[in-house]
Structure 1
Amino acid sequence: MIRFATALFLGAAAALPARAEVDIQSVTSDGGITAWLVEEHSLPFVALEIAFRGGTSLDAVDKRGAVNLMTGLLEEGSGDLGARGFARATEALATSFSFDANAQEMSISARFLTENFDASVALLRDAIQAPRFDEADIERVRAQVLSGLSFAAKDPNEIASKTFAAMAYGDHPYGTAEEGTPESVAALTRDDLLEAHKNVLVRDRVLVGAVGDITPEQLGELLDVLLSDLPESGPMMPPKVEPMIEGGTTVVDFETPQSVALFGQRGIALDDPDYFAAVLLNQVLGGGSFESRLMQEVREKRGLTYGVYSYLASRDLANAFMGQVSSGNDRIGEAISVIRDEWRRAASEGITAQELQDAKTYLTGAYPLRFDGNGTIAGILVGMQLINLDIDYVKTRNERVEKVTLDDVRRVAGELMDPDGLHFVVVGKPVGVVSE
């Protein structure tokens, strides 16, 4: 499935105002590195999130998968510690680090006790700035990546995602596998990984969120210790791309009793004035609730699937309006037909006043608080920065949602939704469904 975190972030941010103690401060270190901080001294614990814009999109054209493989090696030894020594050190400190990369960013999560603050920061600094990239570790992690690629080649969801991405984005990084291909991963050298590290972990693309038992002064010092010796800048970001999505259907023949369909059309940018109207529209159409139109029409009324949903895939370099459904090979055609009808109905009729109110109630926090904890909040702080939200967003977000009118949503539905431009990629043995 095409991965996208903004929908999750928006849901988490909706819950934040319920936490009256959330007070976000902007902290700038002596070295000029900025982070967002929420102080919480009730527990002796710090959660730190670091993201570098660009992620796997910064792979060289002929080195696809280098950033992903490099990221997987950051916890496999650094400085004077080999892989086992690094693992033992984190365990002894009751510290946890995780490293991840996608087409939006390369991210680092750290959790540590304040009593082990200095030692944990020193260990993380080495992981960030002095990874070993020992040959034995490279080959072991490479084998893991190749195994994952082999599994993905047999997963209908992954096949649908990669097929749709290639159709929509061509040879842009968004259109190719961020993990690389078996051939590109097998060809990567240690020098390629060192180059990927130098290109991605740069100061002018770093974003930091910190929550917990840490003061602004301590955070400023931490930022310089961890990041000040990294390169100032890296290669240019890839250009923005307009998805090349045309209406129709693409069938990928695959032996399975159930077909997977990934569908999408052009989308809307995060900074578009109508973005919140589009969020509310999507919530009504297929935003994950059992009360959404797609769930009601495809699952509840016809029993064609266990689940169907839609989402706004708005990213730094491209925007799409996506969805996914699975159904038996003999029923997927009917599910697709119903989804097309609902897409067309929303475009022509919009939504009702009651649907709008229900969507607002959900998005402004009437539902139980689902996101909490220092780590989650630290991730939200970075997520806000990634999509260029201002620091006061958590205080104004619900007000922005409430200001959206029924006329706004109906107008946006008419302008955004493109039933004739909706494309389905179907992986399976769908009866009566052919490529157009």
Structure 2
Amino acid sequence: MTPADAVTRTAALSTASSPAQARPVAAACGVEAWHVESPVVPLIALAFTFEGGAAQDPEGKSGAVQMLARLLDEGAGPYGSDAFQERLAARAIELSFHAGPDAIGGSLKMLVKHADEAIELLALALAQPRFDEAAIERVRAQMLAGLRYQQNDPGVMASRRFFAEAYPGHPYGRPSGGTLESVSGITRDDLVALHARLLGRGRVKVAAVGAIGEEALQRALDAAFGRLSEGGALAAVPPARIAGRGRRIVVDLDVPQSVIRFGTDGVPWRDPDFIPAYVLNHVLGGGAFTSRLFQEVREKRGLAYSVGTSLVSHRAASMTWGYTATKNERVAEALAVIAEEIARLTQDGPSDEELQKAKDYLTGSYALGFDTSTKIAHQLVQVAFEGLGIDYIGRRNGLIGAVTQDDIRRAAARTLGDGRLLVVAAGRPTEL
């Protein structure tokens, strides 16, 4: 079953001759949603993303956007935090918000019979969050407790140091969750200003999946987003490339094994070479049990329990990013094996069999991400946010199937390049 089939099957209309497909629906307020209608189950799933995330944190106040996202459902309009949450629970309405480097997003799931109330609560959370002092201090305390706990987590410490070294002096180099100092200094005025600037209906992407027709969706969009302003100007996030390639940095922690983060250049999702790079990454370290790194680092040498790579695509930067963990005395050996596999793959490419298996897996497994209305909505809103086109889900497997060895070599030259990695190890490696 292809992803397009999965969307169609999950959202099949009652008339078999008219299979449902994602289509744009515009509301009077100017907000457009990608819509998949399905009356099969009396549920509606909504996903939405506003441009502008943690990269918009005020100077010296990293963590502010994350705190904002966590406070949106902590009381809104006439309802304090407890009353707001009680109204959600009484109608089994699922509402959540999150923040990433480039966006604030959220999701809403509700029964059709409670749709009006659910949309009203969403509208209040977006347009009239209360930012009560008690809620701010409760969320601040939660964030600070998490930060204190993370100081002893080698994985978190390695990742934070990695991004700080990869993007020095850049918004992507700051911890999105903040620091003990920055989170302590965030004020209510900071949150109010960020809310006014970031949550504008002029920069929101929306997807709606489920038992809702086009006219009802238009009304829901107007009700949910129509009270928002267009939003303020976003701070410019300058383009950046990963810095420090070739360096090996140790974060000293007294633990028996080191947690390792490594990375090099990448290509963004909108780049024509992203799909070849995606297939290449699957062969290198993204393919779980079948990847070269898994086979060489874990299966053949027993150096680590897990090892892998992924592609990171932000608005203004991209990278090929990897992880593993091994005994302190075997860190250098593990890194040598990783470097050797990167060099071998860059020079020789994958075998024809490896390439075909990677393409078969990536196309065959894609439909698994479309087995619920919520998953479909999140997939659609991510595609919309990346500007890939409403037909991307239908085109995506064809793009992967068309990848050639020449495409792989070109993508390898652009991403893995000369093989130099920025490496951060949290622990006490003995030979690094």
TM-score tier (shorter): over 0.9
Return the match for 1:182 from 180, 183, 190: 180
Q: Offset at 1:370? A: 5.1
* Match status 1:219 vs 2:217: yes
Q: Note the 1:405-416 alignment, pairs <5 A.
A: 405-416=404-415
Give the equivalent residue in structure 1 for 2:197: 199
| CA distance in 2: counterparts of 1:39 and 1:356, whole angstroms | 37
| CA distance in 2: counterparts of 1:348 and 1:190, whole angstroms | 54
Which residue type is aligned with residue 303 of structure 1? G
| CA distance in 2: counterparts of 1:108 and 1:314, whole angstroms | 20
Return the match for 2:122 from 85, 101, 124: 124
Does the 8 Å contact 2:73/2:81 carry over to 1? yes
Does the 8 Å contact 1:245/1:265 carry over to 2? no
Which residue type is aligned with residue 409 of structure 1? I
Q: Note the 1:12-411 alignment, pairs <5 A.
A: 15-21=3-9, 23-236=21-234, 237-365=236-364, 369=368, 371-411=370-410
Which residue type is aligned with residue 323 of structure 1? G
CA RMSD after TM alignment: 1.6
Quickly say closer, same or farther: Cα 1:150–1:14, change in 2 above 3 A.
farther
| CA distance in 2: counterparts of 1:247 and 1:189, whole angstroms | 40
Q: Offset at 1:354? A: 0.3
Which residue type is aligned with residue 110 of structure 1? L
Which residue type is aligned with residue 281 of structure 1? L
Which residue type is aligned with residue 105 of structure 2? S
Q: Offset at 1:109? A: 0.9
Aligned residues: 421
Does the 8 Å contact 1:54/1:106 carry over to 2? yes
Which residue type is aligned with residue 290 of structure 1? F
Does the 8 Å contact 1:14/1:394 carry over to 2? no
Does the 8 Å contact 1:64/1:184 carry over to 2? yes
Which residue type is aligned with residue 177 of structure 1? P
Q: Offset at 1:14? A: 6.9
Quickly say closer, same or farther: Cα 1:248–1:62, change in 2 above 3 A.
closer
Q: Offset at 1:104? A: 2.1
Does the 8 Å contact 2:22/2:34 carry over to 1? yes
Q: Secondary structure at the match of 2:329?
A: coil
Q: Secondary structure at the match of 2:137?
A: helix
Q: Secondary structure at the match of 1:62?
A: coil
Q: Offset at 1:368? A: 7.8
Q: Offset at 1:80? A: 1.1
Quickly say closer, same or farther: Cα 1:366–1:229, change in 2 above 3 A.
closer
C-alpha deviations, 1:89-136, integer Å up to 9, x for none?
011111111111111211111111110111111111111111111111
Of stretches 95-104 and 239-248 in structure 1, the one that deviates more from structure 2 is 239-248
| CA distance in 1: counterparts of 2:366 and 2:131, whole angstroms | 46
Q: Secondary structure at the match of 2:364?
A: coil
Q: Offset at 1:168? A: 1.1
| CA distance in 1: counterparts of 2:2 and 2:128, whole angstroms | 38
Q: Offset at 1:69? A: 1.1
Q: Offset at 1:419? A: 4.0
Which residue type is aligned with residue 74 of structure 1? L
Q: Secondary structure at the match of 2:368?
A: coil
Q: Secondary structure at the match of 1:251?
A: strand
| CA distance in 1: counterparts of 2:414 and 2:87, whole angstroms | 55
| CA distance in 1: counterparts of 2:6 and 2:159, whole angstroms | 36
Which residue type is aligned with residue 134 of structure 1? D
Q: Offset at 1:16? A: 4.5
Q: Secondary structure at the match of 1:240?
A: coil
Q: Secondary structure at the match of 2:67?
A: helix
Does the 8 Å contact 1:30/1:224 carry over to 2? yes
Does the 8 Å contact 2:242/2:265 carry over to 1? yes
Quickly say closer, same or farther: Cα 1:17–1:263, change in 2 above 3 A.
farther
Q: Secondary structure at the match of 2:138?
A: helix
| CA distance in 2: counterparts of 1:259 and 1:207, whole angstroms | 40
C-alpha deviations, 1:390-434, integer Å up to 9, x for none?
11111111111111112221233234313442121111011211x
| CA distance in 1: counterparts of 2:111 and 2:360, whole angstroms | 38
Which residue type is aligned with residue 250 of structure 2? V
Which residue type is aligned with residue 282 of structure 2? Q
Does the 8 Å contact 1:58/1:199 carry over to 2? no
Does the 8 Å contact 1:280/1:360 carry over to 2? yes
Q: Secondary structure at the match of 1:111?
A: strand
Which residue type is aligned with residue 69 of structure 1? M
Quickly say closer, same or farther: Cα 1:184–1:415, change in 2 above 3 A.
closer
* TM-score when normalising by structure 1: 0.93
Which residue type is aligned with residue 282 of structure 1? N
Of stretches 406-415 and 119-128 in structure 1, the one that deviates more from structure 2 is 406-415
Which residue type is aligned with residue 299 of structure 1? R
Which residue type is aligned with residue 126 of structure 2? I
| CA distance in 1: counterparts of 2:410 and 2:50, whole angstroms | 36
| CA distance in 1: counterparts of 2:226 and 2:299, whole angstroms | 55
Q: Secondary structure at the match of 2:254?
A: coil
Which residue type is aligned with residue 223 of structure 2? V
Which residue type is aligned with residue 30 of structure 1? A
Does the 8 Å contact 2:320/2:415 carry over to 1? no
Percent identity over paired residues:
42
| CA distance in 1: counterparts of 2:266 and 2:354, whole angstroms | 22
| CA distance in 2: counterparts of 1:233 and 1:14, whole angstroms | 38
Does the 8 Å contact 1:348/1:414 carry over to 2? no
Q: Secondary structure at the match of 2:390?
A: coil
* TM-score when normalising by structure 2: 0.94
